[in-house]
Structure 1
Amino acid sequence: MTQVTDTRPAASEAGAALSSPAPLRPTPDFGPTDWARGWAVTLFLTAIAGLTRFIMLNYPTDAKTPVFDEKHYAPQGWQVLNGGGIEDNPGYGLVVHPPIGKQMIAIGEALFGYNGWGWRFTAALSGTILVLLVIRIVRRMTRSTLIGAFAGILLIADGLTFVSSRLGMLDIFQALFVTAAFGCLIVDRDEMRMRMALVDVQGRLYDSAYGPRFGVRWWRFGAGVLLGLACGTKWSGAYWVIGFAALSLGFDLAARRGYRVARPWAGVAVRDLGPTIYSLMVLPVLIYLGSFWAWFAGETSYDRYAVGVRVGRGGDFSWVPDALRSLWYYGGEVLTFHRELTNSAGNHHPWESKPWTWPMGLRPMLYYYADNGVTGCGQNQCVKAVMAIGTPAIWWLAFPLLAWAMWRSIVRRDWRYAAILVGYGAGILPWFLELDRQMYFFYAVPLAPFLVMGVAMALGDILGHAPPRGRRVSGAPGWQGYFTPPSERQGLGLLAVCLYLALVIANFIWLWPILTAMPITPGSWHDHLWLPSWR
């Protein structure tokens, strides 16, 4: 075998610019290195997120009962807790979502009982962990704790995820699982490039035209488990199964091409396709089926014994176990329910929204409103409300950001923006295929983490690269000689970023009364409704 010379820079020179126009190997950069500072910033911002999510978590309620769609999920969580893991919905005759979200709610109810704290606890915990994950993901993608902090601040101040973290509904759980799966794939990407670099150093890179086998990939396995939990919360998790499988294969192809494997496409087909299908497609299906453990075990589960009663025992699929056929029939009933809940059938909701309004949050969701017997605003008449609004200072930048992300992905081949676009696109594009059905803005909760990731990275682009440190600057006295002063462009970038983050925080504070049901005057309520579509 021909001896391969290691042409990569030494570790101490990893950040230095390469003199060749096309380096023969990728820069050996496999993750951020400021471990202590990174965790200090992460935990500080996560604590702030937890404070905002948990404060007065049991307020408001509807005379100590759940509000809005909590009325479905809080009782179902209680049934899961006290009914052998099985939920039902006697008022409607059909449970229309998989069980994971209800099981999550049941954990809080087991700890605190059937009250606001109980049915909202795990949602608040999930919303807090979501902030931590976004900080760590962006930090890893950008190799910058500062830009990761930007993302955390933005998510803390996002009204949609804030409200979703304070209600016993399902969307915040799906957002958590999807974002965590995305983070696992980002770590997996770094680890596979580390393995490629090790094989390269060992001189085994060209043992096969397909490149090396990557071996066991536990982070990708974890992504598959998390995607299964997302599907077990809501069926729409399947959109990310498809998107993230394609993303993982794209990462593998880029790694093989980056290390000049002779046949990278064939290498992906031979080495990576099968394991990816197993980890990110088959495994989520198994996890999804496992989430129905109580349904399979129950004697009174809805449609548990549909075969032989509603479904014939014969046919082409008679070889499939009756339990799985019954679950398939039950899923078909759920699908029929959703398909018939359409505008053309006269099913209109006053707060319905379509996916083209989601990027800018043009039609928010009113979860709670009261104007009878409300006091505490300093006037004779007061109102209080909980409205899920994406903070305009963040969400109204969605279309410019998407354009910037596409330009960076296509023209500059920036994989980070491309990955964010995959996560964002999987959460919105499939909904355009069924525009006639009822939809709501809270379907966009899983979009928020990807939106703030993109905004944070754009802020990093505005900020520019930090001036190098540790090099002696000729002619500068004392310690000043070891620092390069920032340029005017960097100073202006820093000013712009600080002003923008201040604007986001101020916007969130302004919205706080209608995110948390604080008593306000009717005039103040109308002042908060900036757009006609918010009314």
Structure 2
Amino acid sequence: MTQLTDERPTPPSAGARVVSPGPLVPAADFGPTDRRRGWVVTLLVTAIAAITRFTMLNYPTDAGTPVFDEKHYAPQGWQVLTGNGIEDNPGYGLVVHPPVGKQLIAIGEALFGYNGWGWRFASAVAGTLLVLLVVRIVRRLSRSTLVGAIAGILLIVDGVTFVSSRLGMLDIFLALFTVAALGCLVVDRDQVRQRMARVHAEGRIDLSSLGPRMGVRWWRFGAGIMLGLACGTKWSGMYFIAFFGLLSVAFDIAARRAYGVRKPWLGTAVRDIGPALYALVVIPLGVYLATYWAWFSSETGVDRHAVGNQIGTGGTFSFVPEALRALWYYSGKVLEFHSGLTNSAGNRHPWESKPWTWPMGLRPMLYYFAEGEHVSGCGGQTCVKAIMLIGTPAMWWLALPVLGWALWRTVVSRDWRYATVLTGYAAAFLPWFATLDRQMYYFYAVALAPFLVMALALVLGEILGTARDSAERRGTGLLAVCLYVGLVVANFVWLWPILTAMPITPELWQQQLWLPSWR
């Protein structure tokens, strides 16, 4: 038996060569390398997404008119198309959101006219592109094309993004732009580390205790543009600016520490935070203002000429251009409208939900319902047609353990991949707890869906194992993942009738409503 002693290792003498027990810098891993295979798989999964999103896109309608909140955005999109790019008539509906989403809807209406195809076309394109982005982002996060493809398949069969991709509403655009922004930041992270590795290899890392300057970071600039478009779709895009800004700074600190910069925190403060504020705050603000180009150039835009009419021309802020003051006044009225939609003021909706129900989809949203003798096609005397916004339970009901595991991996293992996904999820979720008294609906959770899918795909990637694992371990992991993905697809197929308004019997309709809160 080996004797245990109190002997301590002798410290190396001065001048002795010390061999590090591990690498001094991270391995040269700056993204997946199977580019051709990656794009083939990405485009195949995206094509499947397009088929599901575009098939029978014009069905159903309410006697040829929009359904649910399409009744606001489809007419406003049409007025954008026919009214010089701006919705200037509140009689068309509540002009309470920035213009980008309605401008995108207008593109579809320009192509197909004022019909279901027209006011839903842009949403279907956005939903399809969202799948493509999730495949590429998860592939880069996991360094695995297979795991990226799994993420894409899961998003295809997610009921929330599926339904949102087939209706002319705004939330799918918000999800698209925020996910695109995250994707830009992930590529920026890898690019910064690649530049840092080159500087280290050239022996220039110690030329300054602050570390090197990183040069122009076009991907981070692109993230700023995407965040500006997100804010130009819905104001909740502002939350992502704050969360993604912190994420970008955290990436920079981690990169400088990983490559041995002597003062990584100070280096980030001096070298990176200023450009980050420009790219992720100034650029989004500029893009947001640019989305109002038609409003600025119009004579009939809502409150366009508020200065001198609703508000005075003098005062403390008289130096601000009148157009910007008018937009500030207009935005204030919109904020007042949203703030007034509170439960305490008696504004209650039968399908309202609060944020704590969103992660598991406990209170879905009924978008469309028809029954009676005029509804046929189910083989029975009476039929039901319905569209419900439901997160596929096989995924959404696992939200809490998946998010818990992601948090554990972030805090304990310091896994940047899970931290990245959690940041996006938190930006879409946590801010809503600050205004619990206002009306809220499950379609606000559309922005959660891509980040939930990303986290779930990363977990499945861990179950799959790595190439270093034994063949039996990999085979067992692959079997488990295939069975789970098959279960999710089967769950989606079961819900298909109430996601697409297929005629079904009242009995089958009741069988589809699994929880009392779904009724």
TM over 0.5: yes
Cα distance in structure 2, aligned partners of 1:315 and 1:196: 51
Q: For residues 132 and 496 of structure 2, what CA distance do their matches in structure 1 show?
A: 22
Determine helix, strand or coil for the equivalent of 1:167. coil
| Deviation of the 1:310 alpha carbon | 1.2
Aligned to 1:433: 434
Q: What is residue 387 of structure 2 aligned with on the other side?
A: 386
Q: Is structure 2 residue 419 aligned with structure 1 residue 418? A: yes
CA distance in 2, matches of 1:140, 1:248: 16
Please state how far the C-alpha of 1:307 moved relative to its aligned partner.
1.0
TM, length-normalised to structure 1: 0.92
Q: Within 2, Cα distance between the matches of 1:427 and 1:180?
A: 14
Contact 1:231 1:237 in 2 (8 A): yes
Residues of 2 paired with 1:20 and 1:400: CA distance?
38
Q: What's the counterpart of residue 516 of structure 1?
A: 500
Which one-letter code corresponds to 1:384 in the other structure? K
1:370 matched residue in structure 2: 370
Q: Where in structure 2 are the equivalents of 1:412-491 lying within 5 Å? A: 412-467=413-468, 486-487=471-472, 489-491=473-475
**What amino acid is the match of 1:506?**
A
**Alpha-carbon deviations, 1:462-481, whole Å to 9, x = none?**
1111247xxxxxxxxxxxxx
Deviation at 1:89, TM superposition (A): 4.9
Query: Quick one: distance in 2 between partners of 1:175 and 1:21?
Result: 44
Counterpart AA for 1:521:
T
Match status 1:530 vs 2:498: no
Counterpart AA for 1:150: I
Q: Name the counterpart of 1:197.
A: 197
Residue identity in the other structure for 2:337: F
Amino acid at match of 2:457: A
Which amino acid in the other structure matches residue 76 of structure 1? Q
Q: Structure 1, residues 209-240: CA drift from partner, whole Å, max 9, x if none? A: 10000000000000000000000000000000
Cα pair 1:72 1:89 within 8 Å, conserved: no
Say which SS state the counterpart of residue 437 (structure 1) adopts.
coil
1:53-132 equivalence runs, <5 A? 53-91=53-91, 94-132=94-132
Corresponding residue for residue 28 of structure 2: 28
Cα root mean square deviation, aligned: 1.1
Q: 1:377 to 1:93 in 2, by over 3 A?
A: closer
Residues 352 and 88 from structure 1, CA distance in 2 versus in 1: closer, same or farther, beyond 3 angstroms? farther
Instruction: Find the residue that maps to 1:420 and give its secondary structure.
Output: helix
- Aligned sequence identity (%): 71
- Count residues in correspondence: 500
Give the match for residue 221 of structure 1. 221
Q: Secondary structure at the match of 1:383?
A: strand
Q: Distance in 2 between matches of 1:303 and 1:94?
A: 14
What amino acid is aligned across from residue 216 of structure 1 in structure 2?
A: V
SS class of match (1:386): strand
CA distance in 1 between counterparts of 2:198 and 2:170 reads 43
**1:390 Cα deviation (Å)?**
0.4
Distance 1:532 1:38 in 2: 43
Structure-2 separation of matches of 1:240 and 1:307:
31
Cα distance in 2 for partners of 1:244, 1:93 equals: 33
Q: Does the 8 A contact of 2:99 with 2:292 survive in 1?
A: yes
Q: Offset of 1:492 from its aligned partner?
A: 2.4
- Write the distance in 2 (CA, Å) between the matches of 1:79 and 1:92: 8
Q: Distance in 1 between matches of 2:48 and 2:334?
A: 39
Indicate the SS of the match to 2:388.
strand
Structure 1, unpaired ranges of 5+: 1-18, 469-484
Partners of 1:206 and 1:150 in 2: how far apart? 42
Structure 2-normalised TM-score? Answer: 0.95
Aligned-residue offset at 1:48: 0.5
Unmatched segments (≥5 aa) in structure 2: 1-18
Contact 1:94 1:334 in 2 (8 A): no
Cα-to-partner distance string for 1:308-337 (whole Å, 9 max, x where unaligned): 111122221111011100000000000000
For 2:516 and 2:23, locate their aligned partners in 1 and report how far apart those are by CA, in whole Å. Answer: 54
Per-residue displacement from partner, 1:434-460 (whole Å, max 9, x unpaired)? Answer: 000001111011111100000000001
